[in-house]
Amino acid sequence: MPPLPWTSRVTLQPDTECTVMGSRLPLRSHRSIPRFLLWTLRIRRQLADTTGLVGYALDADLVAKTFWTVSAWTGRPELSGFDRGDPHAAAKRAIGPVMLPTTFVFWSCTAVDLPVSWDEVRRRIDAVEVKRSGG
């Protein structure tokens, strides 16, 4: 599955501070992929109407049953509001049981640094996972 490219929602001044979130979302089974993708479509519709979203992208390795997301926000409160809203909140409840441990990373950047590369997202996620494993 090709990555869903960066979708910008707003244009900000280049020096505007943004909150970035990257995630690694591994599934337990290939059978869970269709359900995950269905929820992804619902969440993308939610993103289209979410205040504070600067942009987002999705990547997937279907063989490894793993999805990555990256999104940028005008602030952490806006990201938290999205996280608590439906369908995202409902998706977490519905697909949580079919997921392996997930990894989330948060950092700040300026709007001129967007979109964030997948290499950068994965580097930050890998660093958290290494710390978590004690390595």
Per-residue model confidence as pLDDT tens digits over 21-80: 999 999 999 999 999 999 999 999 999 999 999 999 999 999 999 999 999 999 999 999
pTM of the full predicted structure?
A: 0.93
At 130 the pLDDT is 81
What single-letter amino acid sits at 22? G
Q: Which residues pair with 17 in a beta bridge?
A: 110
Contacts of 99 (CB under 8 A, 6+ apart): 25, 26, 27, 28, 32
Q: Which residues pair with 81 in a beta bridge?
A: none
Question: Per-domain residue ranges for the chain?
Answer: 17-132
At 135 the pLDDT is 66
Choosing among 3.10.20.30, 3.40.50.10090, 3.40.50.720, 3.30.70.100, the CATH entry for 17-132 is 3.30.70.100
Distance CA 98, CA 1 (A): 20
Per-residue model confidence as pLDDT tens digits over 65-124: 999 999 999 999 999 999 999 999 999 999 999 999 999 999 999 999 999 999 999 999
